Structure 1
Amino acid sequence: MTARADAPAKTAETEARAKHTAIEMARAAAPGLAARIGSTPATTFRGNPDIFGRLVEDHDRHRALFAMVQETDGKSPERERLFRELVHEVKAHAAAEEQALWSTVLRNPDTTDDGRHAVHEHKQIDEMVADLAARDMATRAWTERFEALKEKYLHHIREEEQEQFVAAEKHLSAADIRHMKGVFDRRKKEEKASVTIEEKIRLKS
């Protein structure tokens, strides 16, 4: 088998390994719970050693955490722990993504709209998280709002993976990629260590 013919198999193996790693990292917070995320959007960036593959790996971790929260009931210690981990993960990821990727994208007139859209949705997700954090997670209203947050977040990351990353990649230089690789993990670690969970009821749903 030639190296070219073998490439798809190696790519698939890398992608599967990245997805498995992401799910296992999520399950570390509650090993007894299932993380049923099902199939995820096909993207040429999954498993890519550059910035996009790293972002998609985080997305899979978030998909797993959302699924695991839905496996819990009431105000259980597992639900509290998983929700806290999810919030820390999502907020740290968004902050690091904005500095590593979207700050660069926003400087290019061809991709400014994508960058603005992504950052705006990060803000909307923050508001939904703060609203949830301010409510009693043992109630049906909390569960309904959590499901709305999940729907919003999954839509957001699908859009990033299938549209915005694809558009951004066409305009990034090698220097841009090096910058992003150097910034993302460092910034995410810093952000996750300092995340605070705001509690603020949304007056408009």
Structure 2
Amino acid sequence: MGSTPKTRFRGKEDIFGRLVEDHDRHRALLAMISATHGESADRKKLFKELVLEIKGHAAAEEQALWSSVMRNPKTTEDARHAVGEHKEMDKLLADLAARDMASSGWLRRFAKVKDEYLHHMREEEQEQFLHAQKYLTPDDLRHLRRVFEERKRVEKAGAVIKKKIRLK
């Protein structure tokens, strides 16, 4: 995919490799949604999958990685930044979910959400993960992957698509 940035973590067996695996899936879903038209069954299905994926991923990432990274004063700001962007993405997705998918405005709003999320993933992969890695041991990285895997299943299964228009 043209929007898939290079990262040293792709294919790794640790937490960062697993997070990049999800990011690649999210990039694919974003591209597929961009190629849909109107309020089609494909757009609805793909959007639902994207929202549930992002919600499960973000919650599990916060519990596994960012909660651990936040404890170290040298990486606290990275963790806060990532979690803040997750919360902002929740709001953007809720706004999209509340709007008419058949409208041209929906696709324009979706394009903004897509750009924001691509930026977020790139920032994590090319800056925040690199910084966090310096302060985690190989054992930490393997353990955090196991925690992520467990939490992702639970969080995605319990995720709910909220609908709330933002008046911004």
After TM superposition, the score normalised by the length of structure 1 is 0.80
Q: What is the 5 A alignment of 1:16-31?
A: none
- Alpha-carbon distance, 1:178 to partner: 3.4
Query: For the Cα contact (< 8 Å) 1:87–1:129, is it kept in 2?
Result: yes
Segments of 5+ residues of structure 1 without an aligned counterpart are: 1-36
Segments of 5+ residues of structure 2 without an aligned counterpart are: none
- Alpha-carbon distance, 1:175 to partner: 4.0
- Secondary structure of 1:148's counterpart equals helix
The amino acid across from 1:79 in the alignment is R
Q: Tell me the residue number matched to 1:146.
A: 110
Q: What is the 5 A alignment of 1:17-96?
A: 37-96=1-60
- Alpha-carbon distance, 1:168 to partner: 0.2
- Alpha-carbon distance, 1:202 to partner: 0.7
- Secondary structure of 2:136's counterpart equals coil
- Deviation sequence 1:64-84 (CA, Å, 0-9, x none): 000000111000111000000
Q: What is the 5 A alignment of 1:3-22?
A: none
Query: For the Cα contact (< 8 Å) 1:104–1:176, is it kept in 2?
Result: no
Indicate the RMSD between aligned Cα atoms, in angstroms: 0.9
Q: Does 1:186 align with 2:150?
A: yes
Looking at CA atoms only, which structure, 1 or 2, has the larger radius of gyration? Answer: 1
Q: What percentage of residue pairs aligned between the two structures are identical?
A: 64
- Secondary structure of 2:117's counterpart equals helix
Query: For the Cα contact (< 8 Å) 2:9–2:20, is it kept in 1?
Result: yes
The amino acid across from 1:147 in the alignment is A
- Secondary structure of 2:51's counterpart equals helix
- Alpha-carbon distance, 1:41 to partner: 1.5
Q: Distance in 2 between matches of 1:52 and 1:91?
A: 18
- Secondary structure of 1:156's counterpart equals helix
Q: Distance in 2 between matches of 1:119 and 1:176?
A: 20
After TM superposition, the score normalised by the length of structure 2 is 0.97
The amino acid across from 1:189 in the alignment is R
- Alpha-carbon distance, 1:179 to partner: 2.7
The amino acid across from 1:110 in the alignment is K
- Deviation sequence 1:102-140 (CA, Å, 0-9, x none): 000100000000000000000010000000000000001
- Alpha-carbon distance, 1:42 to partner: 1.5
Aligned length: 168
- Deviation sequence 1:84-105 (CA, Å, 0-9, x none): 0000001100001001100001
Q: Distance in 1 between matches of 2:139 and 2:14?
A: 12
Q: Does 1:167 align with 2:131?
A: yes
User: Which 4+ stretches in 1 moved above 3 angstroms?
Assistant: none
